[in-house]
Chains A and B, each alone.
Chain A
Amino acid sequence: MGEEELHQLISGCLKQDRKCQKLLYKAFYGFSMGICLRYAGNRDEAAEVMNQGFFKVFTRIESYDAAKPFKAWLGRIMVNTSIDFYRSNLKMAYADDLEKAEHISDGDFADKNIRYEDILAMVQKLPQAYRTVFNLFAIEGYTHEEIAEMLNINIGTSKSNLHKARQKLKVMIQEADDMADKKRYNSGGMNVNSIVAMNGTNMNGILINKNTWG
């Protein structure tokens, strides 16, 4: 979408023009949903949060500074709405069994590639508090000080949650890796696209394409 077209849509949204609202919504649906999915537990939840984010956009569009990138403004609104949505859950303490993580050796992640659906499923499987800190730190690039302030938690809690999130993700990657190996072995060593379902209650299919892993 060109700059001019975007400005026209924003002007229409300022007049609460429903057509322009829909066009803007459609244009940034993928981008916004992509953010909300990372913070949410599933797609329905993400859609609810995203709509609340867009609701803020449409009702406060006059506060948007046209000199700044719209996408960045929209992204911040989506992140903030996601945080607000789960704020009550963010301080919950988890007594997770991280024993498994102690036996996980740090693999080589530098050249690994995991499908979008798979990494999304892994992140969504994280407890809310870990997921939020991991998203803010690893994906959005905030510091622990900023995260602590945003979430109204201690810096120590932020660091601890990030550590636990990473450990859990490593376990998930390792388990997926093992399952993929097993499948491949069972199938007679044929190099097929092994589809491995992670064990987990809410795993709506974590699919790892072994072939794409370096």
Chain B
Amino acid sequence: MEKDKELDNLFKRGFDDPGHQPDFRDDDWEAMESMLDGNKKRAGIVYWLPILGAVAAMLLIAFGLWMFMHKTPENQQTVKNRISPKDTSNTKQRNPGISDGSIQRNEKIYASTQSKVESAVHTAGRDTISPATVANNTSYSHKGQPTVIPSAGGGRRDTTGPVSEQPFSVAQPGGREILASISSTPTFSSQSRKIDTIEPKDVQAKQNYGDLAFNREKANAAASRGYKPQFAITVLGSSDLNGLNSFSQSKVGTNFGALFSAGIFNRLTVSIGAVYSSKPYLTNFDNYRGSFKFPNTPATVSADCRMIDVPLNLDYSLYNKHRNKFSVGTGLSSYLMFHENYNYSYGAYGNGPASYSVPSPGKYYLSILNLQATYQRQINSRLGLDVQPYVKLPLSGVGLYDSKLQSTGVAVGLTWSLGNH
């Protein structure tokens, strides 16, 4: 024990000797400077990213608000008309679906057009509105159907009701139809003074009252439908292949994370997210950038990188009918690495370090190009199942070996739609 202490002291004495401190090397300071400069540049990017993100978010919010405001007057008008004190009870009684908040989007569109029609009719009793001229292909797939009800003020109230119970129109002498609710609640019309009429040219009494719109409102209806914003959150997981130039020597990685998406136009969706990625891959020793001198060149370098992948993508919907949606998209990913480890094998060429873990793994902003195709199957009005084949192509190298790392795989996820439907 005493000898051990003597041995320790022998080395401590030697190391503590101030006369043997290593001489200063300019090369080391130059490396230090470039490190500090690199940090400054990186800090610049880091400094700007939140600002750019905030600007993008504000633009998105402003755009969303604008869309809501653009639509609000019509909605308010519709609601006002619907819950006019005089007709409230009747309307509710006949059409419980109207005020329970479950009105579907298509009905709203109809309602908004209806309110305009209503005012038109109201101001000029002479107006004749012809459903035959309707060319809008809006599909009213819900059970509720619109009828036009004359009110005490001469205006109409739109309402809906089960098709099977409420015939849409009543034939009148002279080949005209009275557009009115004629089911079990006729009392509301006791004060009716005037019945507006609609030409019965081509009204189809099928359950789906598609094609029911009005020529003069067609453009407005289409416009209001197009500006409906859609927000959604997606959780996804995937397994992918990672390789350098080809996937012939690829390794399997895993990813899971969440995305937030916003529909900015009718068919376009912007999404941003954070995905934990574990990417094992085989890399080339040729591009080694470290300063450590390997006694022998390793035969293979096996990398294990873990990172947060921050994708910023734009998707375009090619097909969106019934419950199926198919879209293609592209975007850029940033890899924020937090674990970067390399294992070396030397084969028959000698020995050397077995592994090396990079103390401060790098962050690679917008350095990966994303290409993806997404199939989404709607499970219910809010929840959708996604299947997304994707490819991630390198725009610049990542890691200690400047690896042009590419990945391909299939992600599976669930998308939860936020907001109104």
Contacts and interface: CB of A to CB of B under 8 A. Distances in A.
Interface string A102-128: 000011111011111111100100000
Contact of A109 (B9, B20, B35, B357): B9
A134 B359 CA distance: 22
7 contacts: A45-B292, A48-B292, A109-B7, A110-B6, A110-B9, A112-B10, A166-B4
A87 B358 CA distance: 10
Contact of A113 (B3, B13, B25): B13
Contact of B3 (A29, A44, A48, A109): A109
B36 A58 contact: yes
A45 to B, nearest CB: 5
Interface stretch (A32-40, A61-69, A145-153, A180-188): A32-40
Nearest to B8: A138
Contacts of B248: none
Interface stretch (B26-34, B108-116, B202-210, B261-269): B26-34
Contact of A169 (B11, B13, B32, B357): B11
B321 interface: no
Contacts of A178: none
Given A34-B21, A37-B22, A110-B6, A87 B15 contact: no
B20 A137 contact: no
A29 B15 contact: no
B24 interface: yes
B289 to A, nearest CB: 11
B380 interface: no
B355 interface: yes
Given A18-B36, A43-B22, A47-B291, 10 more contacts: A22-B29, A33-B22, A47-B27, A51-B32, A54-B32, A89-B353, A109-B6, A116-B17, A117-B20, A119-B11
Contacts of A29: 22, 24, 28
Contact of A44 (B14, B29, B293): B293
A170 B292 contact: no
B12 interface: yes
Contacts of A161: none
Nearest to A118: B14
A45 B291 contact: yes
Nearest to A162: B4
A70 interface: no
A26 interface: yes
B360 A52 contact: yes
B306 to A, nearest CB: 13
Contact of B10 (A37, A92, A114, A137): A114
B290 interface: yes
Most central of A45, A51, A54 by chain B CB within 10 Å: A51
A2 interface: no
Interface of A: 18, 21-22, 25-26, 29-31, 33-34, 37-38, 41-45, 47-48, 50-52, 54-55, 58-59, 81, 84-85, 87-89, 92, 106-110, 112-120, 123, 134, 137-139, 166, 169-170, 201-202
Nearest to B11: A119
The 4 closest A-B pairs by CB, nearest first: A30-B21, A116-B20, A88-B357, A138-B8
Contacts of A113: 10, 13-14
Contacts of B3: 106-107, 109
Nearest to B37: A18
B50 interface: no
Contacts of A88: 341, 355-357
A108 B295 contact: no
A178 B311 CA distance: 64
A151 to B, nearest CB: 14
Nearest to B296: A201
Nearest to A163: B4
Interface string B28-62: 11011101100100000000000000000000000
A43 B290 CA distance: 14
Contact of A202 (B7, B10, B27, B295): B295
A108 B6 contact: yes
A81 B4 CA distance: 27
B361 to A, nearest CB: 12
A37 B14 CA distance: 13
Interface in B62-112: none
B219 interface: no
A87 B357 contact: yes
